[in-house]
């Protein structure tokens, strides 16, 4: 039986613009300059790490707790109310569910703000479980977190596919010997050539898999 491990942000839901803008919006709101490479620096960080980076490197004087609180408030509102599903994602999920594929979500985001989006978009019914990186203590840049998700699904390397959009996560899964399907996203476009070189398959839309 086939198993699929889905990333969430940028893979199933179109949330990457929110993450790309949230740090920039915080800095501009409080009068700090925005480095040109901000997104490339913070894209693989937790919110706490981003807060530390703001304080250590950008001169932000707010406490870590204040930064985290403001960013999470902005993110929570977007997940609860506006973030849409990626085109044709539901069609693909419907087909795989009908075929008996075991599926889960493995995300670097936190359960507290992704669950409102999963509920609003009626996605929970598709998945055996939702697993966050913070629950495992591992990051997607290394294969351990993917192995944990696979074992929890009852899958094996031979029958498990990982869907990701970010280069570091594609690389992490490939280190573990996983089959990786990468999906295009405007926010990761700059890395698309390298993502293609690592992924087993690169798609621009789930429509290609239907």
Domain boundaries defined on the chain: 3-15+84-209, 16-81
166: left (phi over 0), alpha (psi -120 to 50) or beta: beta
55 has a pLDDT exceeding 80: yes
Residue 1 above 80 pLDDT?
no
Query: What's the pLDDT at 136?
Result: 95
Between 3.40.1350, 1.10.150, 1.10.287, 1.10.10, what CATH number should domain 16-81 receive? 1.10.150
Mean pLDDT score of the chain, rounded to an integer?
95
Residue 84 pLDDT grade (very low, low, confident, very high; cuts 50, 70, 90): very high
Q: What is the pLDDT of residues 73-83, one digit of tens each?
A: 999 999 999 99
Q: Is the pLDDT of residue 118 over 80?
A: yes
pLDDT of 43 above 80:
no
- For 41, list phi and psi in degrees, rounded to 5: -75, -45
Residue 44 has pLDDT above 90, yes or no: no
Parallel/antiparallel/unpaired status of strands 160-164 and 3-6: parallel
Say yes or no to pLDDT of 67 above 90: yes
pLDDT at 179: 98
Fold of the domain spanning 3-15+84-209: Rossmann fold (3.40.50)
Residues with Cβ within 8 Å of 166's Cβ and at least 6 positions away in sequence, in order, are 7, 10, 43, 44, 140, 188, 191
Position 78 scores a pLDDT of 94
Residue 16: what pLDDT? 84
């Amino acid at each position: 039986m086939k198993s699929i491990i889905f990333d969430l942000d940028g893979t199933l839901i179109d949330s990457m613009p929110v993450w790309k803008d949230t740090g920039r919006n915080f800095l501009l709101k409080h009068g700090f300059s925005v480095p040109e490479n901000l997104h490339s620096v913070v894209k693989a960080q937790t919110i706490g790490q981003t807060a530390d980076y703001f304080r250590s490197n950008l001169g932000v004087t707010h406490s870590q707790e204040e930064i985290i609180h403001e960013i999470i408030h902005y993110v929570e509102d977007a997940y609860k109310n506006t973030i849409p599903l990626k085109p044709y994602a539901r069609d693909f999920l419907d087909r795989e569910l009908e075929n008996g594929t075991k599926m889960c979500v493995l995300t670097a985001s936190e359960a507290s703000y992704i669950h409102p989006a999963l509920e609003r978009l009626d996605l929970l019914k598709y998945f055996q479980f939702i697993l966050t990186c913070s629950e495992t203590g591992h990051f997607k840049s290394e294969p351990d977190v993917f192995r944990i998700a696979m074992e929890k699904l009852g899958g094996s390397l031979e029958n498990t596919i990982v869907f990701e959009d970010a280069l570091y996560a594609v690389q992490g899964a490939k280190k573990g010997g996983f089959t990786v399907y990468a999906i295009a996203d405007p926010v990761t476009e700059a890395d698309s050539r390298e993502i293609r070189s690592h992924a087993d398959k690169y798609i621009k839309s789930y429509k290609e898999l239907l």
